[in-house]
Amino acid sequence: MSSEVISIGQPVPQFRAAAYGKASSIRIDDLRGMVVVIYFYPKDDTPGCTTEGQEFTALYPEFQAAGAEILGVSRDTLASHEKFSCKFNFPFPLLADTDEALCKAFDVLKEKNNYGKVGIGVERSTFVIDREGKIAYIERKVKAAGHAAAILDIVKQLP
């Protein structure tokens, strides 16, 4: 996976990742022909990440009707994803990026200052991939509340 900054119009980075949900692993090529929403979030079962997941869940039937699949990604383990997903009944896969390969490919690891402690964390970000496997939309520094509805509007506009 490349270290260059990901941008609209370029092919999505190729990946296979361990998943909790519909399959034990997801390969991006297996989703070709669908719109794919990949949202990166900092940590399972935290307030903002829960809000975001619940909003994507509430709108999931509409995403499916628009021919889209949703993939949530964090650096948490599969066991953590299973607990989080089961607790909130998420209908879409959560990808375990424990080696940070996806986070690096999508350039979502950023320096963060959390209560005076500086570290590297996941910047809440969403990528919409078109049916041909190209990046159609990128949003960084996402605010969780209302985000899923805004992304659904974007998905519905894609051919």
- The percent of the chain in helix, strand and coil, each rounded to the nearest 5, is 30, 30, 40
Rounded to whole angstroms, the Cα distance separating 66 from 61 reads 9
- Is 103 catalytic? The answer is no
Q: Answer whether 73's CB lies under 8 Å from 36's CB.
A: no
Catalytic one of 49, 135, 142, 144:
49
Residue whose tokens read 């424990």: 98
> Which amino acid appears at position 62 of this protein?
E
Catalytically active residues are: 49
